[in-house]
Amino acid sequence: MPTQESIDRKFIQQSIRMAVENVKQQQGGPFAAIIVKNNEIIATGTNVVTTTDDPTAHAEISAIRAACKKLHTFELEDCTIYSSCEPCPMCLGAIYWAHLSRLVFAADKKQAAEAGFDDDFIYKEIDLTYEKRKLITSQILTEEGEAPFEAWRNNDLKITY
């Protein structure tokens, strides 16, 4: 019976190989992710931002979309995501929204930053107040913005997520 540690090593090594291959095959950035349930692979994903004209097509998001499509669900409880690199805030957010149970990664955001990726910059931006962010940000019509939530509360047929 393989240990959890050896299983984790196996899937992380596979994600690293996939990420290297993704670069060599000109598919996109140096990232790959694998979603596993009961030690079986549900879906994999690599970074295909530049080849699909989709800035959200990071490895983890690609894997989450593929896994959900395969399982016909929008929630991936009891699944582990293995990523060749620490997820950026977008992908970490997606992991929470998908309700994945566990995250294992190899390289971290500092290594990603050294290779020219904005992960660390975006983590820092998120922590700033709106006025201090590089992204010009303003909030208007806050009260009117309550209307969609009002409609949501009043909708008895809503499907929560």
Rule CB under 8 A: choose which of 3, 55, 129, 132 binds a second copy: 55
60 is catalytic: yes
Q: How far is the CB of 1 from a second copy (least distance, A)?
A: 19
Rule CB under 8 A: choose which of 2, 39, 50, 77 binds a second copy: 50
Which amino acid appears at position 18 of this protein?
A: M
Verify binding: residue 78, a second copy, rule CB under 8 A: no
Verify binding: residue 145, a second copy, rule CB under 8 A: yes
Verify binding: residue 7, a second copy, rule CB under 8 A: no
* CB-CB neighbours of 32 under 10 Å: 29
Measured CA to CA, the distance from residue 26 to residue 74 in angstroms comes to: 30
Q: Which residues are catalytic?
A: 60
